[in-house]
Amino acid sequence: MTDAEFVRHEPCNNCGSSDANSLYTDGHYFCFSCQTYTPAEGINLISQSQMTTNVTLRGSPERLNKRRLSEKTCQFFRIYRDGDTLRFPYFTSDGVLQGVKIKTKKKIFHYEGVSTDTLFGQHLFPTSGKRIVITEGELDAASCYEAMPGWPMVSLPHGAASAKKDIQKQIPLFQGYDTIVLFFDQDDPGRKAAEEACSVLPPGKVKIARLEGFKDASEALQANDAEAIRKAIWEAKPFRPDGIVDGKSLLEIVTTPQTPFDHEYPFQGLNQKLHGIRYGELTTFCAGSGSGKTSIIRHIATDLLNKDEHVGILELEASNRRTALGLMSTAVGKNLILGEHEEEELKSVFERTIANWDLYLFDGFGSFDPDIIYNRIEYLATGLECRVVFLDHLSILLSGLDGDERRMIDTTMTKLRSLVERTGIALFLVSHLRRATNDRNSHEEGGRVSLSNLRGSHSIAQISDSVVALERDQQADSERSFTTVRVLKNRYSGETGVACELAYDLNTCRFKEHEATPEFNPNTDF
């Protein structure tokens, strides 16, 4: 589309509409009915703002019986009948006639003179007041005036398609009114136009009229139901943009019983801290390299799959073969990843596990386009009804982006949060930690983890509902090689601190839970 000016309405050869095809000064056409764009053919029309054609009113203001418009109303708006056509004059704000929109019996519209930026009827009313009503068409404005004489009623010059643009040109006028009622047609184009117009009108002043049983005000008046028009205007509801909710409407939400959790964690200590797994929450697991993040995620996933949950897993750093074998190993308590195993054994385990699970994996190893990942997560949630999704891990996802890391993390976390809100899934995210500045406190040697250790800490910590850290000294003797599970953030209850200690058995690919060793507290332990 271009910045060319509108010239006139014409019939559309594509859809057959009699008046939806609009001609512009650069010679192109655009049909607002079938959305067909016809490029210009080297024609450059004279701008309407440059036209100097003298225009006069022809015909007379007569009662329109079919429309139930009185001669008085037609005289007020100077709606003239000229044979089988109706003529709607457009005046400047100071009352100078500039153009006339002409409507034929076959509903074909065209202009004589200049199509102004003013609204139909605008010159008839003051520039300030309590209430002004805007309709889509001239006859609708006249119908509203017939039902409520004396009240400011105006209409758009080019219908719903140009509502936002036409209204935007008259913002100074609307600022002078306490209430602005949009009385557009009760169809999808009308509702869309109203929403678009609200975005440029003064906040807090706009109300939307709802007309029960009729398409528009003219149709209601033809049915002799002026009361429906009055009711629609007086009972128009304040426009609220998406995201704004009246607190009074929350009674059902706050009184509807909800279970405190949807699933339990397989580790009692973690379960006690976080009070279970809940749909609609984003939980981040973080640790240093080689600290067991993927293993604990697989353990949780396996537990959920055995409870007949629909689970989606995106392990961006592992092949689906390795992921599947890892899940199978955890399920049966035997390491099927290391060493060689007979085909029949693998088939047997597969039939007992994956063949019975509602499990879906992402077959995209090495493909890290973030938009593809977001799309696949949404498909897992909406198309395959996965209520729990695991994404391992954040750093790989960021590798598909260019730019400042902190900003990339902010963008990614925001999009993941939006996915959770939109789909209602429980999303588990795996994240690496920043490299420790002090080697003695490195995360690979069991250094204590805090929220400040998270990469892009502000967005990960703020957007996640829960953050769980894993601490393990990878150089410790196997007998003392415990993984400390520490809750760093817990939006649900606020409880943080050490949840439990886990010992990983390489032979079974399972964790065994130990009661956490009480942490030294210098304030109480002396």
Pick the closest to residue 83 from 113, 105, 107, 108 (CA basis): 105
Q: What is the pLDDT of residue 477?
A: 64
Average pLDDT, the chain: 85
CA distance 21 to 16: 9
How does residue 473 score in pLDDT terms, banded at 50, 70 and 90?
confident
Q: What is the pLDDT of residue 22?
A: 74
Residues in CB range of 86: below 8 A, 6 or more apart = 64, 79, 80, 102, 103
Measured from the Cβ of residue 486, the count of other Cβ atoms closer than 10 Å reads: 23
Q: What is the pLDDT of residue 53?
A: 45
Q: Lowest-pLDDT range, 33-42, 149-158, 429-438?
A: 33-42
Over residues 221-266, the pLDDT tens digits come to 999 999 999 999 999 999 877 667 778 878 888 888 877 899 999 9
Residues in CB range of 342: below 8 A, 6 or more apart = none
Q: Is there a cis peptide before residue 393, judged by omega within 30 degrees of 0? A: yes
With a pLDDT cut of 90, the percent of the chain lying above it is 54
What is the gyration radius of the CA atoms in the chain, in angstroms?
34
Q: Lowest-pLDDT range, 269-273, 285-289, 377-381, 477-481?
A: 477-481
Measured from the Cβ of residue 424, the count of other Cβ atoms closer than 10 Å reads: 13
Over residues 59-105, the pLDDT tens digits come to 888 999 999 999 999 999 999 998 889 999 998 877 888 889 988 88
Do the Cβ atoms of 423 and 453 come closer than 8 Å? no
How does residue 2 score in pLDDT terms, banded at 50, 70 and 90?
very low
Phi–psi pair at 47, nearest 5 degrees: -60, 140
Helix pair 405-423, 370-382: axis angle to 10 deg? 10
Q: What is the mean pLDDT of residues 199-206?
A: 89
Q: What is the pLDDT of residue 317?
A: 86
Helix pair 343-352, 320-332: axis angle to 10 deg? 70
Q: Is 70 exceeded by the pLDDT of residue 439?
A: no
Q: Is 50 exceeded by the pLDDT of residue 44?
A: no
Q: Lowest-pLDDT range, 254-263, 275-284, 396-405?
A: 396-405
Domains of the chain: 61-75+118-238 (3.40.1360.10), 276-514 (3.40.50.300)
Q: Is 60 exceeded by the pLDDT of residue 522?
A: no
Q: What is the mean pLDDT of residues 112-116?
A: 73
Q: What is the pLDDT of residue 240?
A: 79
Which ranges in 60-162 belong to alpha helices (H)? 71-77, 138-147
Q: What is the pLDDT of residue 110?
A: 80
Amino acid at 296: I
Q: Is 50 exceeded by the pLDDT of residue 26?
A: yes
Strands 97-104 and 109-113: antiparallel
Q: What is the pLDDT of residue 37?
A: 67
Q: What is the pLDDT of residue 94?
A: 78
CA distance 471 to 65: 84
Q: Lowest-pLDDT range, 289-298, 364-373, 456-465?
A: 364-373
3-state secondary structure of 412: helix
CA distance 124 to 79: 13
Q: Lowest-pLDDT range, 310-314, 324-328, 441-445, 493-497?
A: 441-445
Per the rule left: phi > 0, alpha: psi between -120 and 50, beta: everything else, 399 is alpha
The 3 state secondary structure assigned to 332-401 is HCCCCCCCCCCHHHHHHHHHHCHHHCEEEECCCCCCCCHHHHHHHHHHHHHCCCCCEEEEECHHHHHCCC
Q: What is the pLDDT of residue 40?
A: 62
Q: Which residue's entry shows tokens 């050490």?
A: 498
Q: Lowest-pLDDT range, 84-93, 135-144, 415-424?
A: 84-93
